[in-house]
């Protein structure tokens, strides 16, 4: 298998998690609506919740319930995390080709990482469960940075922890939040269309490639949208 040219020149390939490497959307919907209910709010439509995936929970609450609930962000966060501890891992599955891509990148001599707005242990738990933890060199979660995406802090931390220059890294993500974070870090970006963001949005960013999914990273460029 050949690595897509959009990433082959890099030394490190960093990935977003949700809708890029994995799908935990059912668990997110369950946890979001549990937390909303504990605040006395009605459940939100599943599609509306899915569109917030990739954002931090405080921002998601404001989108789903309004700015007037800002004062309850801490309570919302605690209710979400409590429910997520119960159900999230069971509702998390890696997308088709994700494991193959991680193995192929490792075989090609590239290092890999995950930068996400999930708390770090949820990603690590999923990787461990599926025997993939040894294929990922660094995981940076919401709990590791002062500012979550779209701030570039997580990407900068991941590159720094590996001792790799930003110019030798590429970030793969499915959302405008990911594209913005990469742009802010000065890092190359590859978009995947496996989330809720269309390629019209990514056209506004200097993406090296727009792919249908992460599996195309090891398909010799076949299927690239750009």
CATH of the domain at 193: 3.40.50.1000
Average pLDDT of the segment spanning 141-148 = 96
Rounded to two decimals, the pTM is 0.92
Q: Which of 176, 213, 140, 200 is nearest to 51 (CA)?
A: 176
16, 56, 153, 178: which one is catalytic?
16
Q: Where does a domain end: 69, 91, 113?
A: 91
In a domain, 224, yes or no: no
For β-strands 209-211 and 138-140, DSSP reports them as: unpaired
Residues 174 and 62 in one domain: no
Is 200 a residue of the active site? no
How many domains does the structure of the chain reveal? 2
Whole-number pLDDT of residue 224: 43
Average pLDDT of the segment spanning 89-113 = 97
Residues 146 and 45 in one domain: no
**DSSP, residue by residue, 92-159:** -EEPTTHHHHHHHHHHTT-EEEEE-SS-HHHHHHHHHHTT-GGG-SEEE-GGG-SS-TTSSHHHHHHH
Whole-number pLDDT of residue 194: 98
Residues 131 and 195 in one domain: yes
What is the domain extent for residue 140? Answer: 5-24+93-218
Q: Where does a domain end: 72, 91, 110?
A: 91
Residues 139 and 32 in one domain: no
Is it the case that residue 72 has pLDDT exceeding 90? yes
Residues 35 and 97 in one domain: no
Percent pLDDT > 90 in the chain is 95
Residues 70 and 104 in one domain: no
In a domain, 85, yes or no: yes
Residues 189 and 207 in one domain: yes
Instruction: Characterize 167-181 residue by residue with b for buried, 16 or more Cβ atoms within 10 angstroms of its Cβ, and e for exposed.
Output: eebbbbbbbbbbbbb
Average pLDDT of the segment spanning 15-44 = 98
């Amino acid at each position: 298998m050949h690595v897509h040219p959009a990433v082959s020149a890099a030394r490190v390939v960093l990935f977003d998690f949700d809708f890029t490497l994995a799908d935990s959307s059912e668990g997110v919907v369950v946890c979001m609506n549990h937390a909303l209910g504990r605040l006395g709010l009605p459940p939100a439509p599943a599609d509306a919740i899915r569109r917030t995936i990739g954002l931090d929970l405080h921002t998601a609450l404001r989108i789903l319930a309004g700015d007037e609930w800002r004062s309850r962000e801490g309570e919302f966060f605690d209710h979400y995390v409590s429910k997520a501890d119960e159900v999230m891992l069971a509702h998390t599955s890696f997308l088709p080709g994700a494991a193959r891509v991680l193995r192929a990148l490792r075989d090609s001599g590239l290092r890999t990482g995950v930068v996400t707005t999930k708390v770090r242990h949820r990603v690590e738990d999923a990787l461990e469960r599926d025997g993939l933890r040894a294929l990922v060199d660094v995981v940076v979660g919401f709990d590791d940075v002062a500012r979550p995406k779209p701030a570039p802090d997580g990407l900068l931390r991941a590159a720094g922890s590996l001792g790799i220059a930003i110019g030798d890294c590429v970030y793969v993500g499915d959302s405008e939040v990911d594209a913005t974070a990469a742009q802010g870090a000065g890092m190359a970006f590859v978009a995947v269309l496996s989330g809720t963001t269309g390629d019209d949005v990514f056209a506004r960013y200097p993406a090296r490639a727009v792919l249908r999914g992460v599996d195309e990273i090891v398909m010799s460029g076949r299927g690239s949208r750009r």
